[in-house]
Structure 1
Amino acid sequence: MKLSARNNLAGTIKSIDEGLITSKVVIDLGNGNEIVSIISKDAINDLQLKVGEPAFAIVKSTEVIIGVPD
């Protein structure tokens, strides 16, 4: 897989919560870190995503917002 995005995070699919049109996919990145993505049900089927399988979270963005606790 070759991509122009430089921010790719390897992990394992922890859960897939399917809705009517979209699904929430949680990827376990290890060390207690997770990332969540909302994608279409069609994408779930096209990529044949399954819990326990390896996957990449690929972040393509022009900005990152930083927050701090109050």
Structure 2
Amino acid sequence: MPRKEQGWITFQTSEEERKILEEFCQDSQRTKTEILRELVRGLNKPQVLQASIPTKQPHSENYETPVQEISIPRKALKVSSRNILKGVVKKVVTGAVNCEVTLEIVHKVELTSMITRTSVEDLGLVEGEEAYAVIKSNDIVIAKE
């Protein structure tokens, strides 16, 4: 039997909740442990959207654009790709427009991708953080001389 000091957590769920978790795991091709760890880690990182809403002040021809913070619940991202590899960001080389992001998938196996600088900032990609490589390809060509 697992001991508490080993980091095990046991909790009860309804049949419906178990089905939701199992379907999500199957769709995302991740384990229950990975999903639950991701949820726990996300608890201290609330997702906030800043929205600018133009308003016209009474007796004024000037428009003001106050910024409002709107809390948005997180939803699981569904993708058609079935090649989803979890890794750790090893390097981010920032350019003027694009960035080169390297993920270490397993020991000494790395994947590098060029993505926009805006995407790097929006995703919060920094060295040491977990991220996923999502690979979509119609052809994979293997050659030999």
TM-score, with structure 1 as normaliser = 0.90
Mapping 1:19-38, distance limit 5 Å: 19-38=95-114
DSSP-derived class of the 2:122 partner: helix
Unaligned runs of 5+ in 2: 1-76
CA RMSD between the two structures: 1.1
Q: Paired residue for 1:14? A: 90
Matches of 1:34 and 1:7 in 2, distance apart? Answer: 15
Per-residue CA deviation, residues 45-68 of structure 1 (Å, 9 max, x unaligned), is 111111100000000111111133
2:80 aligned partner, one-letter code: S
Q: Sequence identity of aligned pairs in percent?
A: 32
* 1:4 Cα deviation from its structure 2 partner: 1.4
Matches of 2:136 and 2:99 in 1, distance apart? Answer: 20
Unaligned runs of 5+ in 1: none
Matches of 1:23 and 1:46 in 2, distance apart? Answer: 13
Aligned residues: 69
2:113 aligned partner, one-letter code: S
Higher relative helix content: 2
Matches of 2:94 and 2:143 in 1, distance apart? Answer: 29
TM-score, with structure 2 as normaliser = 0.45
Larger radius of gyration: 2
Higher relative strand content: 1
Higher relative contact order (CA 8 A, sep 6+): 1
